[in-house]
Amino acid sequence: MNEARIIRKTTLSDGIERITVAPAELRHQTPLLFLHGMWHAAWCWEGWQARFAALGWQSHAISLPGHGASPPVKSVRFSTMGDYLEVVAREVAKTEPRPVLIGHSMGGALIQWYLKKVADDLPAAVILAGWSAHSMYADGVWPFLRRDPWGALTTVAALSSWPLVRNPRRAAQSLLSPGSKVDAAALHARLCRESALVLNQHNPPFWWPKRTPKTPLFWVAGEADAVITEKGARRAAAFYGADYHLVPDDGHNLMMEKHEADTARAIHDWLEARALP
């Protein structure tokens, strides 16, 4: 990646941190809008924003309220999917031309909510290690919580999902694959508090997926993902009629795992195959 030919800009507008990265020579008019997952913020996309800029894409990464440099609107523990969806809808509306959404984990769930509840008219969307289309309990949460019953208990008691990543070891178990190049302590130091309500909301009876959305979807899963089962990811992709890509050996944080460069290239190739301007 040629960092000298990459233009970076960070703004804080309407209470939302937005990091924009653009190549000096733009090869694609359609921008990318990155949505982070639980405990993360716009910073988690810094490597991929540079990588996609090197491929000719302009991108924006936002931090939800109470994440990164975005100040909280209310206590994060009481934040809901509806609160986060309002932010995503506003950010999509102010992005011109209409963007491709790329969402990790909860960000992938927010893409699903956006397509069902706001508008199914995006040029394309990429769900990266996203929450299952049907039930986080069946396809992710129960296997995940069984590995850490104390974290699960205190999450319920505190109405906060922080106990699930309460120290570097637990964060690494959840987010990274064995042998990951990412330093667990450095990653943990950047994580933030997160609502536990959102986990419950992405389940029946609060949530039912929309079958066969019009927006082209690319579902990317990690073979070693400790949060979302591969079976659940594959089932969700089939339900939506999405193209499916499995990354061997990588864990939940696919944008910073061992094969992140190959994963980014797979997304780039898929987007180019859509003949986006």
Question: Distances from the Cα of 4 to the Cαs of 22, 29, 50, 261, in angstroms?
Answer: 11, 21, 10, 19
Indicate the pLDDT class of residue 204, thresholds 50, 70 and 90: confident
Helix (H) or strand (E) holding 81: helix 81-93
What is the pLDDT, as a whole number, of residue 143?
Answer: 66
Indicate the pLDDT class of residue 140, thresholds 50, 70 and 90: low
- Residue 89 has φ and ψ, to the nearest 5°, of -60, -40
Length of the chain in residues, anyone?
A: 277
Residue 205 buriedness (CB in 10 A; 0-12 / 13-18 / 19+): exposed
Q: Where are the domains of the chain?
A: 3-272
* Strand 6-13 versus strand 100-104 pairing type: unpaired
Residues 48-107 have pLDDT tens digits of: 999 999 999 999 999 999 999 999 999 998 999 999 999 999 999 999 999 999 999 999
Mean pLDDT of 139-161: 73
Which of 109-113, 145-149, 236-240 has the lowest average pLDDT?
A: 145-149
Mean pLDDT of 195-209: 90
Distance, CA of 81 to CA of 203 (rounded, Å):
12
What is the pLDDT, as a whole number, of residue 266?
Answer: 98
Cα–Cα–Cα angle for 157, 162, 167, nearest 5°?
Answer: 120
Kindly report the pTM of this predicted structure.
0.95
For domain 3-272, which CATH number applies: 3.40.1410.10, 1.10.579.10, 3.40.50.150, 3.40.50.1820? Answer: 3.40.50.1820
